[in-house]
Amino acid sequence: GPWRWIWSKLYHEPLLKLACKSVGSGLLLYEDMPKIFGNIEITLGNNVSLSGRQVWIGAGSVAVRKHLCISDDSYLGHGTELICGTRIDIGRHVLIANRVVLNGYDGHPIDPIARARGDSPGPDGEGPIRVCDYAWIGSDAAILKNVTIGRGAIVAAGAIVTEDVPELSVVAGVPARLVKRLPVPAGW
């Protein structure tokens, strides 16, 4: 109701602004402030909308500062998790649906003995993620490290993306595969 909106404007939005390097005008939090953890620098553009409730933003390892940039007019849905391996860049007019995971950090090494010791995955276990302008990521999708989602591309609900997605294409499945090329819009 109206009290949630007032509480968000007077409490959660100012707190989020304090946690960010910079925040453009028109920030919209639909509910609570996202959970932010780790050594991460956050930049938000103009008119960024965050569902807020149960959104997680974090750094994979804390040794080196990670970077998250969400550009103008982009939206992150409820339950979204952004785990920065090195950096995550989200372009303009990007729609990210509910429960999407962008994970640029493996969390554990591949070697079972190193994993049992609690070692970090090392430099090969982290990488950047880039979601280009006008992309749409469907609910429950996962985007892994070293992946670029091309301009205007669509990732189907539930897809797990392990490779780059070309501009104006649709990918689906586990692992995600090209299922359709989209027509070039007027003025593209």
Contact 46, 22 (CB under 8 A): no
- Which residues fall within 8 angstroms of residue 152, CB to CB, at 6 or more apart? 132, 133, 134, 135, 167, 168, 182, 185, 188
SS3 173: coil
Query: Which whole-number Å values give the CA distances from 38 to 62, 83, 84, 112, 169, in the listed order?
Result: 6, 10, 10, 25, 34
For the chain, the farthest-separated pair of C-alpha atoms sits apart, in whole angstroms, at: 55
Identity (one letter) of the amino acid at 120?
S
List phi, psi (to 5°) of 56: -115, 130
**3 state DSSP class of 75:** strand
Lookup: tokens for 88: 């995550």
Give this prediction's pTM. 0.93
If one counts every other C-beta atom within 10 angstroms of the C-beta of residue 10, the result is: 9
Q: Report which of 29, 10, 130, 149 is spatially closest to residue 71, judged by C-alpha positions.
A: 130
Residue 140 and residue 129: Cα distance in Å, rounded? 17
Token pair recorded at residue 50? 């965050």
Per-residue pLDDT of the chain (188 residues; tens, 9 = 90+): 677 777 777 888 889 999 999 999 999 988 788 999 999 999 999 999 998 668 999 998 777 899 999 999 999 999 999 999 999 999 999 999 999 999 999 989 899 999 999 998 888 899 999 999 999 999 999 999 999 999 999 999 999 999 999 999 999 999 999 999 999 999 99
Catalytic residue IDs: 108
DSSP, collapsed to helix, strand or coil, labels residue 2 as helix
- The residues, any chain, with a CB within 8 Å of residue 116's CB and separated by 6 or more, are none
